[in-house]
């Protein structure tokens, strides 16, 4: 199914980026994570890590709202450049969604960026260096939010790329977002074909993350998978619930309000049991040709109301 690169959704709108620039962040020491106290068999108190705004479960207490992006590429999302300023803007947007839930800010760093050229290893993807992840994590912590590492694997695979960031996933405030449209089959070039993944692969990632959560006694982690059409995720019903993992299906339809709602309604018909609904808004694609961004009230009026809202 050949398509024009400009017609693809997801959290990337270009390829062949150069080396990332160093993001500008304020030198703010991350706050200590709030912790619950649990008695040990010997009567001593053991502090358990909590989410940035308290508690150990994301839903139904919170709604996740935030921005995505990657350094040096403003076309891929607003979360770039002056990160402290972008974080404040994201928090401001999130406050508009606090009608029925507490809003937990979420910052989605594109940590594995699909490329239009194969690169030295032939995998059509570039990983950001640890220094970039460190800067984005510092920003998320200063805003009392979560960091999600977005994976666009190209000709690599999701599990390989997720495991590359394992040391960050052992932190209590770091989760994963998968971008299946950029998981390419052999001989397919990104931007020419839609990529695809399966429910079995998403389930494998969920199981892996659950193992980390249980081993390290961490609070619940978010695992988001983005979906713009029915093709990019096959056999979604294979996604099963795992302890400590909140799986979110983010519907990434582009364009004006009416087709975005149609896409949302259609793709949520196949949502797996226990998976939470999400919705993406695009500052550029949704407002082209005289369109406008949907308002928070319009987003919350969707049925079911999204529990995760991402702005690109």
How do residues 205-243 score in pLDDT, each as one tens digit?
999 999 999 999 999 999 999 999 999 999 999 999 999
| Residue 28 near residue 273, CB atoms below 8 Å | no
User: Which 3 state secondary structure label does DSSP give 158?
Assistant: helix
109: pLDDT strictly greater than 50: yes
Supply the pLDDT for residue 44: 57
How do residues 237-277 score in pLDDT, each as one tens digit?
999 999 999 999 999 988 899 999 999 999 999 999 999 99
Supply the pLDDT for residue 4: 30
Cis bond upstream, residue 283 (ω within 30): no
- Residue 49 vs residues 54, 56, 176: alpha-carbon distances, Å: 9, 8, 18
Place of tokens 């053991």: 46
Distance CA 145, CA 175 (A): 11
Q: How confident is the model at residue 291 (pLDDT cuts 50, 70, 90)?
A: confident
How do residues 148-199 score in pLDDT, each as one tens digit?
999 999 999 999 999 999 999 999 999 999 999 999 999 899 989 999 999 9
Mean pLDDT, residues 96-112 taken together: 97
Q: Which residues contact 168 (CB under 8 A, 6 or more apart)?
A: 133, 137, 147, 149, 174
Burial class of residue 182 in the structure, from the number of CB atoms within 10 Å of its CB (0-12 exposed, 13-18 middle, 19+ buried): buried
- Residue 175 vs residues 30, 55, 186, 287: alpha-carbon distances, Å: 17, 16, 28, 29
Say what percent of the chain tops pLDDT 90.
80
Supply the pLDDT for residue 35: 54
Supply the pLDDT for residue 75: 86
Which helix (H) or strand (E) element contains residue 67? strand 62-69
298: pLDDT strictly greater than 60: yes
Determine if the pTM surpasses 0.75: yes
Supply the pLDDT for residue 224: 98
Supply the pLDDT for residue 70: 96
Supply the pLDDT for residue 173: 98
Distance CA 297, CA 301 (A): 6
Domain positions in the chain = 57-311
DSSP bridge partners of 2 = 193
Supply the pLDDT for residue 306: 98
How do residues 23-80 score in pLDDT, each as one tens digit?
333 333 334 444 555 555 555 567 899 999 999 999 999 999 999 999 988 889 999 9
Q: What share of the chain is helix, strand, coil (3-state, %, to 5)?
A: 30, 25, 45
Supply the pLDDT for residue 183: 97
222 CB-side CA count, 13 A = 36
Supply the pLDDT for residue 47: 87
Cα 292 versus chain centre, distance: 23
Stronger pLDDT, 55 or 16, i.e. the higher one: 55
Token pair of 164, please?
A: 């590359």
Supply the pLDDT for residue 23: 33
Q: Which residues contact 31 (CB under 8 A, 6 or more apart)?
A: 141, 142, 144
| Closest by Cα among 275, 58, 52, 103 to 178 | 275
Q: How far apart are the first and last CA of the chain?
A: 25
Bridge-based pairing of strands 146-151 and 221-227 is: unpaired
- CATH fold, domain 57-311, is TIM Barrel (3.20.20)
What is the Rg, in whole angstroms, of the alpha carbon atoms belonging to the chain? Answer: 18
């Amino acid at each position: 199914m050949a398509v024009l690169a400009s017609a693809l959704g997801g959290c990337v709108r270009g390829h062949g980026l150069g080396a990332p620039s160093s993001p500008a962040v304020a030198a703010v020491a991350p706050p200590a994570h709030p912790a619950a106290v649990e008695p040990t068999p010997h009567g001593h108190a053991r502090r358990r890590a909590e989410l940035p705004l308290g508690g150990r479960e994301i839903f139904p207490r919170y709604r996740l709202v935030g921005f995505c992006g990657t350094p040096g590429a403003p076309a891929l999302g607003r979360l770039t450049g002056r990160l402290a300023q972008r974080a404040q803007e994201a928090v401001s947007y999130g406050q508009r969604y606090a009608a029925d839930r507490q809003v937990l800010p979420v910052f989605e760093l594109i940590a594995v960026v699909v490329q239009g050229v194969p690169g030295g290893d032939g995998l059509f993807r570039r990983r950001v260096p640890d220094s970039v992840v460190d800067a984005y994590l510092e920003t998320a912590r200063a805003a009392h939010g979560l960091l999600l590492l977005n994976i666009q694997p190209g000709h690599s695979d999701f599990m390989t790329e997720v495991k590359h960031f394992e040391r960050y996933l052992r932190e209590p405030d770091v989760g994963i977002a998968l971008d299946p449209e950029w998981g390419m089959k052999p001989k397919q070039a990104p931007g020419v074909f839609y990529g695809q993944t399966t429910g079995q692969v998403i389930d494998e990632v969920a199981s892996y993350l659950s193992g980390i959560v249980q081993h390290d006694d961490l609070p619940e982690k978010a695992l988001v998978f983005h979906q713009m059409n029915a093709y990019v995720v096959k056999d979604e019903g294979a996604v099963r619930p795992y302890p400590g993992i909140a799986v979110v299906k983010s519907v990434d339809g582009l364009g004006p309000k009416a087709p975005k709602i149609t896409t949302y309604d259609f793709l949520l018909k196949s949502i797996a049991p226990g998976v939470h609904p999400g919705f993406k808004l695009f500052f550029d694609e949704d407002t082209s040709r005289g369109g406008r961004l949907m308002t928070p009230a319009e987003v919350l009026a969707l049925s079911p109301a999204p529990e995760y809202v991402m702005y690109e």
